[in-house]
Amino acid sequence: MDEFIFDSYLVDNTKGLLKFNYIVKKRDREIFFQEQIHLGKSLNGNVNALLQQELLLMLHIGLGISYWKLYCIKNITIKTGVLNKSQAEFFNKVYKKGLGEFFYKNKIDYKNLVSFPFIKNKEHFFINNTITQTEKFLLGLGGGKDSIVAYSVLKKQKKSFDLFVIETNKSYDVVSNVAQKINMPIVKIKRILDSKILNGHQFLGSFDGHIPISFIYGILGIFYSIIFGYRGFLTGNEESAKYGNVSYLGEMVNHQWSKSLEFEKMFNDYIQKYLVKGQKYASVIMGFSELEICKIFSKETEFFNIFSSCNRNFSITKENQSLWCGSCPKCIFVYIMLGVFIDKNTLFSIFKSNILNNISNLNTVKRLLGVFEFKPFECVGTPEEVKSALLFYKKNNLYRSDAIIKHLIENKMI
């Protein structure tokens, strides 16, 4: 019988090294995977043994989503701990909703597919206030506008925080440059994927596709903040993350689900019940529209020539030659939104091209606008936000002659 096994984990307390092991039993073969997390310093005994076990179990199951999706095996075995019904339902939902885009693109019927085992009489341990906390938070830092705005908001609120960076298989120049510009204490951890997962096509019948990466960042951030005594883990997830892309098998698929308020509330509930009461997981900019975020960012001029939201800068296997490709949905979306608040020459100096004068970008703009197909599977705002921004371009003589704006006006799309 096919089986996916959360097999074991190894903890080197001195080195701060965690190794999580998984086994896929498929037909007549077994495939072993290991993911490593390098914390960069020794675990300091801030938490009791039971809490550490629950934290490691959360990581083991959460990180395992990258390996489970290779075959989507229904039969799941967990050897490193047990879940109660509520915990199992949490992970069922994370896998189901977090992999919505993956299921859609691979035409997988996800209904009744994800079912984590649980026991009814798992002893619910919870010892309140057993960890030593500072007043300091961790703030997740990427290289894009959202985490920079989150930093800006916290700075104005005079909150105490350190920056938190997760390097998956390698460091990223964009993130390093932004962190250097901010010039604050920074925590870096390294996440090393099993090398076999980068070559999934070698496995017979394996699937490939999107995972809820913000969920991965969330569990790693909360793990680190609890282990090392921070008040909580903060992110730069925006309000528009709650809006989905396309309906599939009766449910809305949302590329950004693990950045949404729904996930934030669900994860916080899990943290309060099974980890540490009072520990905080929250987005600093939840409730901010994309236009509000870009308005704030437009004042952070020192980041203009070093930030990027283009995913090509964050590829594990490829090196990007420029900060912006100028043709992907994220490049086009950020260009449109930022142009409302900064002048055209500055916009060109950031993106190195006039994106709205490139007619090959038209269909992507129409998708962002909601008049063609459905919203791209990217971290972009809503069609309403895009339309609001494009109405600015319609009224601005500096943009009306750009090929895409001209087309949208002539066809009464804006």
> In this predicted model, what pLDDT tens digit does every residue of 226-236 receive, in sequence order?
999 999 999 99
| pLDDT at 129 (0 to 100) | 46
| pLDDT at 361 (0 to 100) | 98
Q: Cβ distance 174 to 260 under 8 Å?
A: no
Q: Cβ distance 359 to 407 under 8 Å?
A: yes
Q: DSSP for 178-199?
A: HHHHHT--EEEEEEE--GGGGG
Give me the mean pLDDT over the 13-28 stretch: 93
Q: Is the predicted pLDDT of residue 407 greater than 90, yes or no? A: yes
CA distance 322 to 376: 22
| pLDDT at 27 (0 to 100) | 84
Q: Cβ distance 375 to 327 under 8 Å?
A: no
| pLDDT at 43 (0 to 100) | 86
Q: Is the predicted pLDDT of residue 204 greater than 70, yes or no? A: no
Q: What is the pLDDT of residues 379-398, one digit of tens each?
A: 999 999 999 999 999 999 99
Q: What is the pLDDT of residues 167-193, one digit of tens each?
A: 999 888 999 999 999 999 999 999 999
Alpha carbon separation from 413 to 97, 254, 337, 365, 391 (Å, rounded): 32, 25, 17, 11, 10
Average pLDDT, the chain: 93
Give the residue among 214, 208, 212 at the shortest CA–CA distance from 196. 208
CA distance 330 to 89: 33
| pLDDT at 312 (0 to 100) | 85
| pLDDT at 206 (0 to 100) | 84
Give me the mean pLDDT over the 97-120 stretch: 96
CA distance 107 to 68: 16
Chain-centre distance for alpha carbon 324: 19
CA distance 344 to 223: 43
Question: In the numeric block, which tokens belong to residue 358?
Answer: 């490139």
Give the model's confidence band at 128: pLDDT under 50 very low, under 70 low, under 90 confident, else very high: low
The one-letter amino acid at 225: S
| pLDDT at 49 (0 to 100) | 86
Q: Is the predicted pLDDT of residue 200 greater than 70, yes or no? A: no
* DSSP H helical ranges for 203-282: 213-227, 261-274
The alpha carbons of the chain give a radius of gyration, in whole angstroms, of: 22
Q: What is the pLDDT of residues 281-312, one digit of tens each?
A: 999 999 999 999 999 999 999 999 999 999 88
Question: In the numeric block, which tokens belong to residue 366?
Answer: 């129409």
| pLDDT at 318 (0 to 100) | 67
Lowest mean pLDDT among 79-83, 257-261, 318-322, 382-386: 318-322
Q: Is the predicted pLDDT of residue 81 greater than 90, yes or no? A: yes
Lowest mean pLDDT among 8-17, 140-149, 312-321, 357-366: 312-321
Give the model's confidence band at 320: pLDDT under 50 very low, under 70 low, under 90 confident, else very high: low
Give the model's confidence band at 123: pLDDT under 50 very low, under 70 low, under 90 confident, else very high: low
**Phi and psi at residue 321, in whole multiples of 5°?**
-95, -15
| pLDDT at 350 (0 to 100) | 97
Q: Is the predicted pLDDT of residue 201 greater than 60, yes or no? A: no
